[in-house]
Structures are given as structure tokens and as C-alpha cells.
Amino acid sequence: MNILFEAFKQSIELVSTFNTDLYEILLLSLKVSCLSLFFSSLIGLPLGTFLAIKNFWGKDITLIFFNTMMGLPPVVVGLIVYLLISRSGPFGWLGILYTPTAMIIAQMILIIPIIVSLTAQTIEEIHQEYKLLFYSLVVPPHKAVIAYLFEARYLILTVMLAGFGRAISEVGAVIIVGGNIDHLTRVMTTTIALETSKGNLSLALALGIILLSIALFTNFILIRLKIRAKQRMYV
Amino acid sequence: MSKKVFEYAQNLTPIQLTNLSVVVGQKIILDKINCKIKSNSITAILGPNGAGKSIFLQTINGLVSVQSGRLTFNLMENNQEIREQQAMVFQTPVLLRRTVMANMQFVSNLRNKESNRLLKNILNKVGLEGYEKKPARLLSGGEKQRLSMARALMVNPNLLLLDEPTANLDPYSLNLIEDLVLEENSIGKTVIFTTHDMSQAKRLATDVIFLNKGKVLEQTISKTFFKSPKTVEAEKYINGEILI
């Protein structure tokens, strides 16, 4: 119990004294996760909306595929990306192994199925409400996709938060393709794993606290936004 | 508006339905119907529940596909340019999760990108002045339907399709919508509407199409229909009797 208390005290100290290493790791984690979320959203949101509003042969299979991909084991993704971008792999010439770019790619592979599947489910409900109106107004398909996403904006924020949660808490893939190199690819989760194995619990715990705080803060903002939106019947 | 569309705009009517059938799922909703909607008319589509009135409007608006038969607008098949000249008001108002003004702007941005001043004028016309910043889905039932009407007028349609536009509305909203229908018709617009309100049909309609079980039983001018209906079903319907 004393060890835990001591580690907790030290972790608070690290956070409050703006420890350089700690904040470097934190900023890189946020950068990698936010960028992977951004690029995944660019692909996943329109794709999910398209799957929700269009009927085509193979739609069910596509949805099943993305639903299944939601449960992809991160280490497997890490291994596949590693094989693809390692020097002897087909994309070895890019020279991105053990860089944040590789980590972003690995996280995108993990996040895109989540965003596609959850967006498709969300938009399907809204589509039932608006399909006749949009068709009656002769809304062009690309504008319809944007309109559906806008109408579901508060629910889409939850979808994106789920993606962000997966990205920032992920360790298996980023440790394989990033290599956990100090000052280069070391992020919160990989540091937690490393420092715990070294017995340096204070840094690990400090990062854990920050990780939880980020999750709490983003959820708090989202819930406030949703409450306000519900009052205006925008959800 | 392109020159081509403008030319069509002058010639959207008469609307002719020839041996037209519509099947939804396994059920025949409209069964080989034949009728004609005249230029600059206000046509009431009457009939009991399940007669196919809403599907009739949706078919004209291109929302449901035709199984067999023909639907022509001044001898032209329905196409996107023709559909852009139509506006439909649904029985249950479908409003975007935005403010009243943003609902108007959405439609405006699709078409002519009208100025906010014009949008406000249309809102004034439907008695929604001062409601611009209000969330649309917080409006009352009558206000929602008036906003739907305003959104339809935004399109400046040549053909206005109204699916029970005044069902369950307060007298103010009802009068306002009826006045708008008459006003739009007076400037050359063709209006087709469905209703269960016989007195409203008498007040507004120049023509009546009476549907029962997906078939057109009567098509005539309004006065004749209400004075001397030709079929037993129409007579029963007017007198408020159950049609089996």
C-alpha cells in the first residue's frame, strides 16, 4: 500500500513540475492519436455514411467485414504493418519503420473499422428519417453524405471518441512498429509498459493518471455538448 | 435556373397517369390507375385510409418506383429537372436538427442560394417571423408544418404536393396554410393535396380524384363530386360511412 501511495505522490510531482520527459511523451501520444483519428475520420465517416444510405450487392458482407475488423488484435496489426514496412517488405523503401508515421498507420488500421461500423449504425437510423425528404429535395449524393453527418454530429462525436479511445490506449501495434524509441516514438502506453517492467512505477502511474484524465476530460466535454444539444433537440 | 429548366417550368402540366401500378413489398398500392391533372388546378386526392393517397403523391414526386404504366409531365417522363420543380410537404414534418433559418438555408443552398432577406420574407409569410434562431424541432406541430411549407415555397415549385398538410393543426396554422395554397395557385402553381377534411376539400379543390383500394373510382371537378358523386363508395365516403 505504501509503495502505491509513494508512486502516486511521485506521479503528482512529475505532473505538477512539468517534467520534460513526461510532457514529451504526452504530446507525442496526443499527436499520433489525433492524427490517426483525423485521417481515419476522413476515410471512415464518408465510407460509413455511404454504407448506411446506399443499397448495393455485397453491402451486408462489407458491414460484417468492418464489424469483424473492430476486434482486430493490435499486435497482429502491428506485425502486419511491420512486415509491410520493414526493409525487406513491399513498402520498405518508404523508410518509415520506427517512426511516428508507422504508428499512425497502424492506429488507422485499428480505428477505421470502428469509425466505419459505428458511423454506419448511427447514420442508418437518421437515414430512415430523412431519406424521403432528401430524395424529394433532389439532394445530390455528396451533399446528402455531408448533411447526414451534420445531422448526426453529436452522435458522430461519440463515434470519434471511441476511435480516439482505441488509439490512445493502444500499445501492442505501436510498440512493434514504433519500437518505443526514447525521444522519437515513445508514447504513454509504451512507456507505461516499459517503466512497469523496470519497476519505475511513479512515471508509469503518472502517465496512467494523465491518460485517465484525458479520457475523463474528453468525456466530460462530450456529455456537456450532448446535454446542450438534447435541450435543443439536435440529438 | 438553366434555360432548359425554365422551358420545362412553363410546361410541367398536364400530368398524366396511364395504367400506372405501384407495388410496395408484395402489396399492390396503386392498381392500373388512369387520371390527368390539369394545369393550374388544385386537385384533392380523397379516399379512405389505405386507399393509396400518400403513395399517389410520392409516385408523382418520384419517391417510389412505378411497377408498370406511365407517368408523364406534359408528355415528358419524370426526370431530375422536373423533380426540381416540385416540392413536397409530408404529413409528419421532417425537419433538420438545426435552427429554423438553417433549415431554410439548407434548401436555399441546394438551389438558388437566395439571400437571407428573402428567406426571412418567406418565414414572415408563414407566420414564423422572429423564429429564425429557434431550434426547428422545438417548434409546435403547427409551426413545424408551417416551416415545412416555407421550405417548400423556398424551392419556388411549379407543382406543390401536400400530404395531409393540415392534419391535427390549430385553426391559425390551418387557415394560413390554406391561404398559402390559394395564393400559390393564383400565381399559376399547380397544387395536389390529400386530405380527410371534406370541408377543406370543398374550400380549396378545383378537382377531385377519389381513390379506393388503389383504384381511381372518380375524377371530376370538385363541385360535381360533392354534389353528385357517381359511385356508391364516393357517396359513402362523403357521408362519413365506413367503406369495406
Whether B102 is in a domain gets the answer: no
Least confident of A132-141, B5-14, B76-85: B5-14
Domain assignment of residue B49, yes or no: yes
- Interface check for B81 against chain A (CB to CB < 8 A): the answer is no
Q: How confident is the model at residue B2 (pLDDT cuts 50, 70, 90)?
A: very low
Inform me whether the pLDDT recorded for A113 exceeds 50: yes
Specify the pLDDT at position B22: 97
Spatial distance between the Cα atoms of A61 and A51, rounded to a whole number of angstroms: 11
| CA atoms of B85 and B184, how far apart (whole Å) | 14
Output the domain CATH number for residue B169: 3.40.50.300
Range of the domain at B166: 3-92+158-238
Q: How far apart are the CA of B149 and the nearest CA of chain A, in angstroms?
A: 13
- Tally the domains of chain B: 1
Q: Given A133, A139, A233, which is nearest B138 (Cβ)?
A: A233
Residue B199 CA to residue A8 CA, distance in Å, equals: 78
Task: Tell me how many residue pairs between chain A and chain B have CB atoms under 8 A apart.
Answer: 44
Q: Do B96 and A232 touch (CB under 8 A)?
A: no
- Residue numbers of the domain that contains A15: 2-231
In a domain? residue B138: no
Count the domains in chain A. Answer: 1
| Contact yes or no for A233 and B90 at CB 8 A | no
- How confident is the model over A9-56, as pLDDT tens digits? 887 888 889 889 989 999 999 999 999 999 999 999 999 999 999 999
Number of residues assigned to chain B:
244
pLDDT band, very low/low/confident/very high, at A1 (cuts 50, 70, 90): low
Q: Give residue B116's pLDDT band: very low, low, confident or very high (50, 70, 90).
A: confident
- Grade residue B1 by pLDDT with cuts at 50, 70 and 90: very low
B77 occurs within a structural domain: yes
Query: Does residue B7 register a pLDDT over 80?
Result: no
pLDDT in tens, A163-219: 999 999 999 999 999 999 999 999 999 999 999 999 888 888 888 888 888 889 989
Predicted model pTM: 0.89
Please state the rounded mean pLDDT for residues B142-148: 96
Query: How far does A214 lie from chain B, in Å, by closest CA?
Result: 29
* Residue of chain B with shortest Cα separation from A135: B63
Q: Which of A132, A137, A232 sits opposite B110 (nearest CB)?
A: A137
* CATH number of the domain encompassing residue A99: 1.10.3720.10
Q: Which three cell numbers stand for residue B73?
A: 409531365
Tell me, what's the pLDDT at A202?
81
Instruction: Look at residue B59 and tell me if it is in a domain.
Output: yes
Cross-chain residue pair B94–A147, CB shorter than 8 Å: no
To test the contact with chain B by mutation, choose from A55, A125, A138 the residue with the greatest count of B C-beta atoms within 10 A, namely A138
The reply to whether B107 touches chain A by the CB within 8 Å rule is yes
C-alpha cell at A4: 502505491
Contacts of A132 in chain B (CB under 8 A): 58, 63, 90, 94
Distance from CA of A50 to the nearest CA of B (A): 19
pLDDT at residue number B8:
43
